[in-house]
């Protein structure tokens, strides 16, 4: 437990230092697909990685009946796979460009990894 608290403290400190010159902003689908500057492509990938990890942690912490999606046991979802799932869902459903990328990501994960709810 002490190790987890220390890790959370280190992560929080790093985020505070890193956010000094930047401000948090939702990444929209159009911004993700067509970044205005090359550096934003990297920022968008980092944003997607954090979003993916956050959704996974959230859903794993839920009771089995309340999970948003169910990854196979011992499966490691990469950011590249999450990007593919998100963009495939957005293309298939013709999601507008002004939608935050979290919505097609979550919907795509739910479609790709449904939970068998009895």
- Looking at residue 21, what is its pLDDT? 46
Q: Could you tell me the mean pLDDT of each successive run of 10 residues in the chain, 118 residues long?
A: 51 50 77 95 96 95 93 92 97 96 97 82
- Looking at residue 99, what is its pLDDT? 96
The model's pTM: 0.77
- Looking at residue 9, what is its pLDDT? 52
DSSP string, 45-112: HHHHHHHHHHHHHHHHHS-GGG-S--PPTT----HHHHHHHHHHHHHHHT--TTSBTHHHHHHHHHHH
């Amino acid at each position: 437990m002490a190790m987890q608290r220390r890790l959370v403290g280190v992560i929080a400190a790093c985020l505070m230092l890193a956010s000094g010159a930047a401000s948090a902003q939702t990444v929209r689908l159009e911004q993700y697909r067509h970044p205005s500057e090359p550096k934003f492509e990297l920022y968008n990938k980092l944003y997607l990685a954090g979003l993916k990890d956050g959704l996974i942690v959230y859903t794993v912490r839920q009771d089995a009946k309340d999970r948003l999606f169910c990854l196979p046991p011992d499966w490691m979802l990469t950011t590249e796979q999450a990007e593919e799932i998100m963009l495939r869902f957005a293309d298939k459903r013709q999601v507008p460009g002004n939608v935050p990328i979290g919505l097609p990501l979550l919907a795509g994960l739910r479609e790709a990894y449904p939970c068998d709810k009895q």
